[in-house]
Amino acid sequence: MRGKSVIYFLLGLYTALISWSIYQSVILLILHWIFWPLALLYFILTGHLAHGQWLSIPKHYFN
């Protein structure tokens, strides 16, 4: 059970990083953090994570 909560937290954090890199809005960041499953699905379906963006966004923050 503990492993699932860690994964849930990390996916929420990942969605928040994507949200901030695209919109740079605190309000949208909070909304995307709360509703991260829907926001992550939106980012995937609209192509925000296409062409290697899914990997380059976290690298930008942690390098």
| pLDDT tens per residue, range 1-57 | 677 899 999 999 999 999 999 999 999 999 999 999 999 999 999 998 898 888 888
Question: Strands, E, within 1-63: which ranges?
Answer: none
Number of domains, the chain: 1
| pLDDT tens per residue, range 39-48 | 999 999 999 8
* pLDDT in the model for residue 62: 78
* pLDDT in the model for residue 61: 79
Task: Give whole-number Cα distances, 5 to 10, 40, 41, 48, 63, in Å.
Answer: 9, 17, 19, 25, 26
Single pTM value for the model: 0.82
Residue type (1 letter), 1? M
Residue 58: pLDDT over 90 = no
Expressed as residue numbers, the domain containing 37 is 2-62
